[in-house]
Structure 1
Amino acid sequence: MCLLLGERPALNCLARASGIATRCSQLRAIATDGVWHGEVAGTRKTTPGFRLVEKYAMLVGGVSMHRQDLSGMVMLKDNHVWASGSITQAVKAVRSVCGFSSKIEVECRSAEEGRQAAQAGADIVMLDNFVPQELHVAAFALKEDFPTLLVEASGGVTPENLASYFSPHVDIISLGCITQGCPVVDFSLKVKKP
């Protein structure tokens, strides 16, 4: 009887996690087939209360979970930059609090913002909502001047256009579709009479 009480919640969790892992496996295969050696990663867009399962499904599927939670890395978004006054002020304020041991990522809407973030000491620059052609030019320029900087592409990336974002100058490509609108894998449970 206990098995039947937990049947549907267990199958729902399995179906959701398996759908995410399947999508991740497909994305990893696209990267491998495209001979791209960067990281395919999820985003922070997870289902409330279900993040741990979804992040684990990403790992099972072969992609990076980006960060487990807010303590994994500092990510400065446009609102943080606005509240601080500038990218430089935001990065310097965070660095003074978290020290050298925490990575800082800055979401940037232009190549110039990416340059400001790198000059301020960001470890990762996320080029957000760039079309592939703009991304490749910006990533090349950033890597030329800041060789140790990690460059992430995010926003508007789908399984269908993922390969167009591949570049030797792009280290990470993150996709919200890994957890948002992901199809589930259908499971059922049948109990046999002894």
Structure 2
Amino acid sequence: MSKVEKNDTDLYPGQNLAHLLPPSWKSDVERWFAEDTPSFDWAGFVVGEEEQEAILWGKSGGVLAGVPFFNQIFKHLDCKVEWLLPEGSVIPSDSKTKVALVRGKARHLLLGERVALNTLSRCSGIATVSRRFRDLARAEGWQGVVAGTRKTTPGFRLVEKYGMMVGGVDPHRHDLSSMVMLKDNHIWATGSITNAITAVRRVAGFSLLVNVECQDEAEADEAISAGANIVMLDNITGDGLHTAAKNLKQKWKGKKEFLIETSGGIVEGSLTGRVGPGE
């Protein structure tokens, strides 16, 4: 077997991320099966109920993620899964690697095969890209947090956010209810950043963070003054980003506590010059 790198989910050392999942997610498995087999399983009729063993192979490099989803899919079919690698392992790209064994009735193995592989592949793919972004940012000297977004696949968000965490990045907010995010259209509709923050604080109270999307340093300054916890410098790059962040920190040092976030146009090739040491 090829050499496999150890688990590297170092944002959560020694912890089982599956423990974060809510009990309600397991009902998604029934929905996935209802979509994939809405009536008769014609081919399953052919193979019958003889006990068989299937091998899960890793054929392309990446971070293994999605173990609890894979397990639950086959548990639903009374199959047993034996993992040969822990979640978070980096599977090499230069050869086939035996990842897990699944035992059960032949028709059940085939019934769950595509649902399980699709879910595991999607989750692992997101973990792999997340790990790559994190490592690129570290190589550039970035000491802050690399985070995901809410731009997830409808109905599949929990799996995708889980993949981000296994990959070693922050999942950011999970939905509209988990943090207040005031974007340009919210600000336009209320007339100003200050008006938007004042209005939302009346209903959100003190326990929710308020994150405000800002187009320049002046907007960020207004947001901080009005009580924003996080200012997102949107689509600002290079020296402009570094200068704005430095000026805001200097102006409000010792007066206001806030975080600076940058978003928009962040791809692997744009990390250089976008982030800087200690910012």
Instruction: Work out whether residues 87 and 116 of structure 1, in 8 Å CA contact, stay in contact via their aligned partners in 2.
Output: yes
Instruction: Work out whether residues 143 and 278 of structure 2, in 8 Å CA contact, stay in contact via their aligned partners in 1.
Output: no
1:54 aligns to 2:163 (yes or no) = no
Aligned length in residues: 170
Task: Note the residue ranges of structure 1 that are not aligned, 5 or more in a row.
Answer: 171-194
Task: State how far apart, in whole Å, the 1-side matches of 2:173 and 2:267 are.
Answer: 20
1:178 aligns with none
Secondary structure of 2:231 counterpart: strand
Deviation digits for residues 56-79 of structure 1, max 9, x if unmatched?
000000000111222211000111
1:133 aligns with 239
Instruction: Work out whether residues 141 and 278 of structure 2, in 8 Å CA contact, stay in contact via their aligned partners in 1.
Output: no
Give 1:168 shift.
5.2
1:164 aligns with 273
User: Runs in 1 of length 4+ with deviation above 6 angstroms?
Assistant: none
Task: State how far apart, in whole Å, the 2-side matches of 1:59 and 1:131 are.
Answer: 26
2:186 aligns with 80
Q: What is the Cα-based RMSD across aligned positions, in Å?
A: 1.3
Q: Partner amino acid for 1:46?
A: T
Identify the structure with bigger relative contact order (alpha carbons < 8 Å, sequence gap 6+).
1
Instruction: Work out whether residues 151 and 169 of structure 1, in 8 Å CA contact, stay in contact via their aligned partners in 2.
Output: no
Matches within 5 A, 1:31-42: 31-42=137-148
Task: Summarize the Cα distance change of 1:168–1:34 in structure 2 as closer, same or farther, 3 Å threshold.
Answer: closer
Q: Partner amino acid for 2:113?
A: E
- Tell which structure's C-alpha radius of gyration is larger: 2
Task: State how far apart, in whole Å, the 2-side matches of 1:57 and 1:44 are.
Answer: 13
Task: Summarize the Cα distance change of 1:107–1:169 in structure 2 as closer, same or farther, 3 Å threshold.
Answer: farther
Secondary structure of 1:127 counterpart: strand
1:19 aligns to 2:125 (yes or no) = yes
Task: Please give the TM-score of this superposition, normalised by the length of structure 2.
Answer: 0.59
Of 252, 258, 277, 1:149 maps to: 258
Percentage of matched positions with identical amino acids: 56
Secondary structure of 1:139 counterpart: helix
Higher helix share: 1
Task: Summarize the Cα distance change of 1:152–1:144 in structure 2 as closer, same or farther, 3 Å threshold.
Answer: same
Instruction: Work out whether residues 139 and 169 of structure 1, in 8 Å CA contact, stay in contact via their aligned partners in 2.
Output: no
Instruction: Work out whether residues 144 and 278 of structure 2, in 8 Å CA contact, stay in contact via their aligned partners in 1.
Output: no
Task: State how far apart, in whole Å, the 2-side matches of 1:55 and 1:169 are.
Answer: 26
Q: Partner amino acid for 1:54?
A: E
Task: Note the residue ranges of structure 2 that are not aligned, 5 or more in a row.
Answer: 1-106
Task: State how far apart, in whole Å, the 1-side matches of 2:141 and 2:156 are.
Answer: 32
Deviation digits for residues 156-175 of structure 1, max 9, x if unmatched?
111112132223574xxxxx
Q: Partner amino acid for 2:194?
A: T
